[in-house]
């Protein structure tokens, strides 16, 4: 096994949690976000599609969902920035017997902001799990699993996965999830009942372009300051919502392609978001061999290419759905990783970019936290 390095963040530092196809990495910087130290690799050989940082109740807990091709997927956590990890004897996320299926992969881990102990996990096959004890034990959210439309959900290229969980910042009982390929479902009663919520979102790959469900939503983001405002990157289609996702308006003007995966929203400004357009579903690489992040500052009316510091020649890159994020600092930092193992950071909202590292395994998840 490869030797691990460890970082020792201090209060006020910034850490980037990077999940790759071959393990997890932790990068540390001071608040300047200029120079990054590497920690890892953790879980070498395992795909890590989900990571999270839980700072509630004074915790400094990193969560990861490594999936070993041999030994399956479990949730593991570290309270010392990767030096040691839990290794539960019993797999902590398991489908109940009545589900007659087995966990394949953990795609998303989200600590609740409405209390200090609730957590959610989105998994493949598409399902939502909830923990009420800060990740010690997990249970299937039956209301979604028992939805009558579930048998008609279809796997996308990455499998039938529940990849995005949005906990409404002002309504703890309202949760929106995105599933490829089923679209978005929303609950307003804390998970007891769910309804599809895809009004206005196209499904170009179906005979009915606007079905009630079945869309291939790649990523959805929600403003923490103005929860009505959301953006959505679809499998073809770039959208904005001004009503908490109840309806969607196409805002794909001025982008080289409305196909893509990654998306991030500004921590304060609900009009500001970032995307990385890809050529097409047939060629999932950056158009013209240019790695361009596009930013809107007016709710999607206009998108501007942010290229300073990013390769603009022979850069046929792919940025996957969970591989882009923002921090909560001023100005906001933006971070993304590529399938070719590059990790980029901007400490000025995308005006200029620097390469944190070039040479990771394929990056599938990027999260950031202020320690």
Partner 1 sequence: MSYLFFIPGPLRELAGNRGQVRVDGRADSISDALALLWNEAPGVRDRVITEVGEVRPHVNIFVDGESIRDSAGLGTKIRDGAEIFILPAVSGG
* Residue ranges that bind partner 1, judged by CB under 8 A: 22, 45, 68-72, 74, 87, 89-91, 94-97, 100-103
C-alpha 285/C-alpha 288 separation (Å) is 9
Least distance to partner 1 from the beta carbon of 94, Å? 5
Least distance to partner 1 from the beta carbon of 87, Å? 6
Per-residue H/E/C for 278-296:
ECCCCCCCCHHHCCCEEEE
Least distance to partner 1 from the beta carbon of 99, Å? 8
Q: Kindly tell me which of 73 and 275 has the beta carbon lying closer to partner 1.
A: 73
* Long-range contacts at 131-136 (CB < 8 A, ≥ 24 apart): 134/54, 134/56, 134/57, 134/59, 135/54, 135/61, 135/63, 135/75, 135/77, 135/92, 136/92
Q: Kindly tell me which of 68 and 170 has the beta carbon lying closer to partner 1.
A: 68
Least distance to partner 1 from the beta carbon of 91, Å? 4
Q: Kindly tell me which of 46 and 222 has the beta carbon lying closer to partner 1.
A: 46
Q: How far is CA 166 from CA 74, 112, 123, 349, in A?
A: 22, 10, 14, 22
Q: Kindly tell me which of 47 and 177 has the beta carbon lying closer to partner 1.
A: 47
- Supply the DSSP string of 69-96, one letter for each residue: TTTEE--EEESSTTSS----SS-SS---
Q: Kindly tell me which of 4 and 57 has the beta carbon lying closer to partner 1.
A: 4
Least distance to partner 1 from the beta carbon of 177, Å? 22
Q: Comparing C-alpha atoms, which of 98, 173, 91, 160 is closest to residue 123?
A: 160
Q: Kindly tell me which of 83 and 249 has the beta carbon lying closer to partner 1.
A: 83
Q: How far is CA 58 from CA 54, 122, 371, in A?
A: 9, 25, 10
Q: Kindly tell me which of 96 and 157 has the beta carbon lying closer to partner 1.
A: 96
Q: Quick one: residue 279, left, alpha or beta (phi over 0 = left, psi -120 to 50 = alpha)?
A: alpha
Least distance to partner 1 from the beta carbon of 154, Å? 21
Least distance to partner 1 from the beta carbon of 140, Å? 11
What are the backbone dihedrals phi and psi of residue 276, each rounded to the nearest 5 degrees, phi first? -130, 95
C-alpha 305/C-alpha 350 separation (Å) is 9
């Amino acid at each position: 096994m490869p030797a691990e390095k460890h970082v020792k963040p201090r209060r006020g530092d910034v850490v980037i949690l990077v999940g790759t196809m071959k393990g997890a990495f932790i990068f540390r910087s001071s608040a300047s976000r200029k120079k990054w130290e590497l920690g890892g690799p953790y879980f070498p050989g395992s795909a890590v599609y989900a990571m999270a940082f839980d700072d509630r109740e004074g915790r400094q807990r990193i969560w990861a969902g490594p999936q070993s091709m041999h030994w399956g997927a479990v949730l593991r956590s570290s309270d010392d920035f990767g030096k040691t990890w839990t290794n539960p004897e019993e797999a902590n996320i398991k489908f109940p017997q009545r589900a007659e299926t087995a966990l394949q992969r953990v795609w998303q881990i989200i600590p609740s902001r409405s209390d200090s102990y609730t957590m959610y996990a989105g998994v493949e096959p598409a399902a939502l799990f909830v923990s009420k004890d800060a990740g010690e034990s997990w249970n299937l959210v039956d209301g979604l699993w028992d939805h009558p439309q579930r048998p008609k959900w279809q796997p996308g290229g990455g499998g039938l996965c529940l990849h995005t969980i949005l906990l409404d910042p002002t309504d703890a009982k309202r949760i929106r999830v995105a599933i490829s390929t089923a679209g978005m479902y929303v609950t307003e009663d804390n998970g007891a009942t769910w309804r599809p919520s895809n009004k206005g979102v196209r499904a170009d790959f179906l005979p009915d372009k606007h079905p009630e469900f079945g869309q291939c939503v790649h990523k959805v983001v929600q403003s923490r300051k103005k929860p009505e405002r959301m953006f959505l990157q679809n499998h073809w289609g770039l959208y904005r919502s001004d009503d908490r996702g109840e309806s969607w308006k196409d805002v794909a003007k001025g982008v080289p392609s409305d196909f893509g995966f990654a998306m991030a929203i500004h921590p304060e400004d609900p009009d500001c978001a970032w995307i990385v357009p890809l050529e097409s579903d047939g060629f999932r690489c950056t158009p013209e061999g240019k790695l361009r992040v596009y930013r809107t500052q007016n709710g999607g009316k206009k998108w501007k290419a942010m290229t300073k510091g990013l390769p603009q020649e022979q850069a046929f890159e792919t940025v996957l759905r969970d591989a882009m994020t923002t921090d909560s600092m001023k100005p906001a930092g933006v971070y993304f990783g590529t399938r070719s193992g590059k990790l980029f950071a901007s400490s000025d909202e995308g005006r200029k970019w620097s390469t944190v590292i070039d040479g990771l395994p394929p990056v599938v998840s990027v999260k950031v936290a202020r320690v």
